[in-house]
Amino acid sequence: MNCGWLSTAIAALAMAPYAVRVLGWRRGWNNLRTTRGSVKASELTVVIPARNASQSIALLLGDLAAQSQAVAQVIVVDDQSSDRTSKTVEDAINGQPTFEIIASEGVGKKAALITGVGQADTTWVATLDADVRLGPEWSRAMCASIQPSTVLLIGPVRLGPTANFFDALQSLDYAAMMGWAAATAGQGRAEMASGANLVFRRLNYPVAGLRCELASGDDAFALEAVANSHGPSSIHWAHDSAAGVSTPAARSFKAWWQQRIRWGGKARHYRSSSLLFTALIVWTAAAAQLLLLLVWPAAGLQAIALKATVDLAFTRPVARWFTLPAARRPGVWLALILLHPWAIILPGLGSIFQRPTWKGRKI
């Protein structure tokens, strides 16, 4: 009995910092509300950096052409594609005067973003990944979510469609990250965003803050730069499902691994104390579960159960808001609970020893 109490106490102590952090996100998520601002889509330019995107870019351009509120301009920036991206875009544009494609003035996604934003002349500029899909109300909902104090607006991103079990696992994991982004933005201390769906006040686009000497991290470093220059309260979340975009999950374990070590590699360059503290808490919780399983299995299983309880309390309402089919599959939740510590620890270690590849480039 004493050993049982001791193992429970050790498990609870190991998971306590994580539980406090995640339950704080749950409170932040529950307090989010849809806003209705006065910005119109005609004040928005969309910039799409594209490299080897011939399989997806035409679909996105079709979605943008079908918006209920037309944006002022759509600028596709070709980042030295080696496929038919430029020809595909030219065919999709088909003479539409507000759509254009230009060549990047540098190499890499950040250079493409800077090139595109430099060509815009509207008050607001949205940056989208070339493989996302949009609903017809995206421009209206994103613009309506802009508040008077907004400098950077974080848009919702969901992984989908989910064709298999691996996709479903990724969709829930990514929903948790989006919930983290939303909750912390709502609490005035944004820690995370996805570059797949962002809106910036054009004159405040953080060109210098993107840290172009690093190939990855256009989203994280933009977030840090805006928070440092204009205060974290200038970063908001678009809490409107119509403002969301969908993007494909990694199609293979190899692609997922490359994605995660890319994320792990940029984490070494974060300067935000809040973000670094969160990363430390998440990594420590994952390591504690695995270590306890090794040295004291009873305590390890209790730690997993405690973390799972906290994760479900936070992630389930987020997954429902994103209308993820995986949210209704207990087997996916169970697999994610058991695999998540490994998904944190192993790519983090891998990022130390391996340079990831993205779009055919070592970064």
Give 20-45 pLDDT, tens digit per residue.
999 999 999 999 999 888 899 999 99
Question: What does DSSP assign to residue 208?
Answer: G
Last residue of a domain, one of 204, 227, 253: 253
Is 265 inside a domain boundary?
A: no
Q: Evaluate whether residue 264 is within a structural domain.
A: no
Q: Would you say residue 261 lies in a domain?
A: no
- Looking at residue 143, its pLDDT comes to 97
In sequence order, what DSSP letters do the residues of 248-312 get, joined into one string? PPPSSHHHHHHHHHHHHHHHTT---HHHHHHHHHHHHHHHHHHHHHHH-HHHHHHHHHHHHHHHH
Q: Which residues of 317-329 are buried (b: 16+ CB within 10 A; e: fewer)?
A: bbbebbebebbeb
- Is the separation of the CB atoms in 70 and 41 below 8 Å? yes
For residues 312-321, give the mean pLDDT: 96
Residue 360's pLDDT is: 66
pLDDT at 208 over 90: no
DSSP state of 56: T
Report the C-alpha gap between 12 and 298 in whole angstroms.
12
Question: Is the predicted pLDDT of residue 314 greater than 80, yes or no?
Answer: yes
Domains identified in the chain, total number: 2
53 with 65, same domain: the answer is: yes
Range of the structural domain that residue 315 is part of: 2-29+270-362
Residues ≥6 apart with Cβ < 8 Å to 251: none
First CA to last CA across the chain, in angstroms?
Answer: 53
Closest CA to 112 of 120, 102, 122: 102
Strand residues in the chain grouped as ranges (E): 44-50, 73-78, 99-103, 124-128, 133-134, 152-154, 157-159, 197-201, 235-237, 245-247, 357-358, 361-362
Q: Is residue 263 domain-resident?
A: no
> pLDDT (tens digit, 9 = 90+) per residue, 272-300?
888 889 999 999 999 999 999 998 898 89
Q: Is pLDDT larger for residue 215 or for residue 133?
A: 133
Distance from C-alpha of 321 to C-alpha of 97, rounded to nearest angstrom: 36
Q: How confident is the model at residue 1 (pLDDT cuts 50, 70, 90)?
A: very low
Show which of 253, 288, 321 is a domain's final residue: 253
**Paired residues of 159 in beta bridges:** 247
Q: CA–CA separation, 259 vs 252, rounded Å?
A: 11
Say if residue 128 is in the same domain as residue 182: yes
pTM of the model: 0.93
Q: Which of 224, 253, 282 is the last residue of a domain?
A: 253
- pLDDT tens across 121-133, in order? 999 999 999 999 9
Given a cut of 80, is residue 155 above it in pLDDT?
yes
- Residue 45 and residue 25 share a domain: no
Calculate the average pLDDT of the chain. Answer: 91
Whole-angstrom Cα Rg for the chain: 21
Q: Is 100 helix (H, G, I), strand (E, B) or coil?
A: strand
Per-residue model confidence as pLDDT tens digits over 240-268: 999 999 999 999 999 999 989 888 777 77
Predicted pLDDT at 214: 67
Is residue 354 over pLDDT 90?
Answer: no
Mean pLDDT, residues 193-222 taken together: 87
